[in-house]
């Protein structure tokens, strides 16, 4: 409700305009930028490479860094395992990168490496998936965790008549963002949806094939399953692909968090009714401007600090050194063609 109410007609128009920006593709230089000539060097470190969501968010980061005349790089592991990001953090610190922008694979496993990088003068911005708040300088949150949980529970409830067995197909078991959303979804279900029973939570590790196989196994293990929530763009796309050619198409509901480009065909062929997300490009763009503000000393991460984020306008740091991008947005067949990311 809160989410729907907040979308006033005017805000919805602005949101569509903002979400409708076309991503310009990923960039995987494979090397960190080096500080030189006084340019601000910003390196993006996603959970893993090869995920269209991070291709889009990091392209937004690159657009911002280009705009303010800095040096951009993207590095990252192939798999989203807890400590896979550690060597990349160490290398960036050794190279004297001014700021690292990280979507954390684990809330704690990368904190030691982050501490070493901070001692070497690198500012640490998390975005998308946070670490423990005490080990980074700032977290750029795509939307409130409560809002992200609620929109997914609301959508599945609508799609299954607010009753029956559901399961969650998540990303990696240690992912800070998915785990926070899952906890809140459980609370929402318990409080407002007594007839929906969450029977299983499985992990596809943000790997397409693993997510596809886990979907098949879920349907096998729970013959009465009425719906799946997948709070990961990789998981929901793989689950949709599985459902679309199976006997469950149109019978087992699927919602969660997806990119319009990956989900379009499944919305059009009737596999999926609706799903949610934010604009990953804006998220990366905002994170890059926040990194620049930290490096310049315009902000320190203190509550109330204000900084400018180019075309997105001015942002204020909230509690726990967190900056909020906006609200999640629901995509369905009536609007999906407006979005190109
Ligand atoms: C995947 C990643 C990312 C998450 C989105 C929704 O791309 O797990 O961290 O925010 O899904």
Domain count, the chain: 2
Higher pLDDT, 312 or 8: 312
Best mutation site among 51, 141, 179, 208 for ligand 1 pocket (most ligand atoms within 8 Å of CB): 51
Res. 2: pLDDT tops 90: no
Residue 254 inside a domain? The answer is: yes
Q: Which of 58, 105, 181, 233 has the most ligand 1 atoms within 8 A of CB, as the residue to mutate?
A: 233
Write the residue with the smallest CA distance to atom 6 of ligand 1. 232
248 and 307 both lie in a single domain:
no
Tell me which residue of 1, 44, 21, 5 sits closest to 278, measured CA to CA: 21
Q: Does residue 243 sit within a domain?
A: yes
How far does the centroid of ligand 1 lie from the alpha carbon of residue 7, in Å?
23
Q: Would residue 178 count as lying in a domain?
A: yes
The ligand 1 site (C-beta within 6 Å) comprises: 47, 51, 53, 103, 128-129, 171, 175, 177, 206, 232-234, 257
Both 71 and 37 in one domain: the answer is: yes
**pLDDT, tens digit (0-9, with 9 covering 90-100), for 83-142:** 999 999 999 999 999 999 999 999 999 999 999 999 999 999 999 999 999 999 999 999
State which of 237, 259, 277 marks the end of a domain: 277
> Best substitution site from 45, 126, 232 to test ligand 1's pocket, by max atoms within 8 Å of Cβ?
232
* Buried residues in 126-149 as b, exposed as e (16+ CB within 10 A): bbbbbbeeebbbbbbbbbbbebbb
On whether both 102 and 162 belong to a single domain, the answer is no
Same domain, 218 and 299: no
Q: What does the pLDDT read at residue 9?
A: 36
Residues 214 and 243 occupy one common structural domain? yes
Q: Which residues contact 178 (CB under 8 A, 6 or more apart)?
A: 129, 170, 171, 172, 231, 232
220: which residues sit within 8 A by CB, 6+ positions away?
A: none
| 260-277 pLDDT tens trace | 999 999 999 999 999 999
- Whether 73 and 162 map to the same domain: the answer is no
Can you give the pLDDT at residue 23? 32
Instruction: Specify the pLDDT at position 19.
Output: 55
Are 125 and 170 members of one domain? Answer: no
Of 44, 45, 46, 47, the one to substitute when testing ligand 1's pocket (max ligand atoms within 8 A of C-beta) is 47
Tokens 């800070």 identify what position? Answer: 176
Q: Which residue segment(s) compose the domain that 268 sits in?
A: 145-277
**pTM, whole model, 2 decimals?**
0.91
Does 332 fall in a domain? no
Distance 303 CA to ligand 1 centre (A): 26
Same domain, 17 and 76: yes
Residue 36 falls within a domain, yes or no?
Answer: yes
For residue 36, pLDDT beyond 90: no
Q: Which of 128, 210, 211 to mutate to test the pocket of ligand 1 (most atoms within 8 A of CB)?
A: 128
Q: 65 and 41 share a domain?
A: yes
Q: Do 287 and 214 share a domain, yes or no?
A: no
Residue 199 counted as domain residue: yes
CATH number at residue 63: 3.40.50.2300
- The phi and psi torsions of 239 (rounded to 5 degrees) equal -65, -40
Q: Phi, psi (5° rounding) for residue 4?
A: -65, -45
Provide mean pLDDT across the span 147-175: 98
Which residue is listed with tokens 């599945």? 156
Give the pLDDT confidence score for residue 38 in this predicted structure.
Answer: 79
Which are the contacts of 211, defined by CB distance < 8 A and separation ≥ 6? Answer: 169, 204, 205, 230, 232, 234, 235, 237, 238, 239
Of residues 101 and 11, the one with the higher pLDDT is 101
Cα-based distances in Å from 59 to 21, 72, 83, 207, 272:
12, 10, 24, 21, 27
Above pLDDT 90, what percent of the chain?
A: 89
Q: How many CB atoms lie within 10 A of CB 230?
A: 30
Of ligand 1's listed atoms, the one at least distance from the Cα of 280 is 10
Same domain, 121 and 207: no
Helix (H) or strand (E) holding 216: helix 208-221
Among the atoms of ligand 1, which is closest to the Cα of residue 80? 8
Q: What pLDDT shows up at residue 14?
A: 44
Residue with CA at minimum distance from ligand 1 atom 5: 232
> What distance in angstroms lies between residue 277's CA and the mean position of ligand 1's atoms?
9
Cα separations in angstroms, 80 against 125, 164, 186, 203, 341: 18, 32, 24, 12, 22
- Which atom, in ligand 1's list, is nearest to the CA of 231? 6
Mean pLDDT of the chain: 91
| Residue 200: inside a domain | yes
Residue 26 has pLDDT above 90, yes or no: no
d(CA 57, CA 59): 5
Of the two residues 248 and 30, the one the predictor is more confident about is: 248
Query: Do 29 and 138 reside in the same domain of the chain?
Result: yes
- The residue with greater pLDDT, 19 or 341, is 341
How many other C-beta atoms can be found within 10 angstroms of the C-beta atom of residue 291?
32
Q: How far is the CA of 233 from the centre of ligand 1 (A)?
A: 6
Please name the residue whose Cα sits nearest to atom 3 of ligand 1: 232
Q: Calculate how far, in angstroms, residue 18's C-alpha sits from the geometric centre of ligand 1.
A: 19
Q: 127 and 287 in contact (C-beta within 8 Å)?
A: yes
In a domain, 331, yes or no: no
Ligand 1 atom with minimal separation from the 171 CA: 8
């Amino acid at each position: 409700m809160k989410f729907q109410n907040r979308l006033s007609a005017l805000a919805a128009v602005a949101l569509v305009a903002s979400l409708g920006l076309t991503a310009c593709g990923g960039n995987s230089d494979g090397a960190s930028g080096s500080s030189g000539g006084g340019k601000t060097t910003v390196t993006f470190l996603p959970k893993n490479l090869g995920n269209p969501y991070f291709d889009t968010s990091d392209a937004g980061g690159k657009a911002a860094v280009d705009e303010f005349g800095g040096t951009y790089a993207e590095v990252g592991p192939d798999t989203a395992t807890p400590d896979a990001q550690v060597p990349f953090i160490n290398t960036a610190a050794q190279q004297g990168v001014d700021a690292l922008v990280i979507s954390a694979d684990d809330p704690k496993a990368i904190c030691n490496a982050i501490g070493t990088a901070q001692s070497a003068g690198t500012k640490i911005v998390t975005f998308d998936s946070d670490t423990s708040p005490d080990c980074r300088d700032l977290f750029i949150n795509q939307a409130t965790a409560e809002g992200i949980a609620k929109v997914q529970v609301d959508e599945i409830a609508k799609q299954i008549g607010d009753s029956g067995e559901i399961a969650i197909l998540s990303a990696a078991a240690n992912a800070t963002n998915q785990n926070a959303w899952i906890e809140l979804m459980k609370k929402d279900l318990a409080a407002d949806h007594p007839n929906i029973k969450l029977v299983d939570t499985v992990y596809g590790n943000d790997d397409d094939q693993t997510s596809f196989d886990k979907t098949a196994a879920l349907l096998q293990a729970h013959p009465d399953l009425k719906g799946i929530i997948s709070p990961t763009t990789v998981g929901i796309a793989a689950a949709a692909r599985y459902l679309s050619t199976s006997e469950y198409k149109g019978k087992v509901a699927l919602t969660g968090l997806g990119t319009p480009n990956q989900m379009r065909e499944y919305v059009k062929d009737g596999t999926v009714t609706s799903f949610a997300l934010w604009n990953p490009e804006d998220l990366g763009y905002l994170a890059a401007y926040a990194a620049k503000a930290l490096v310049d000393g315009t902000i320190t991460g203190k509550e109330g600090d204000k900084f400018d984020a180019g075309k997105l306008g001015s942002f204020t740091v909230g509690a726990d050194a967190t900056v909020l991008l906006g609200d999640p947005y629901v995509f369905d067949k009536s609007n999906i063609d407006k979005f190109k990311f």
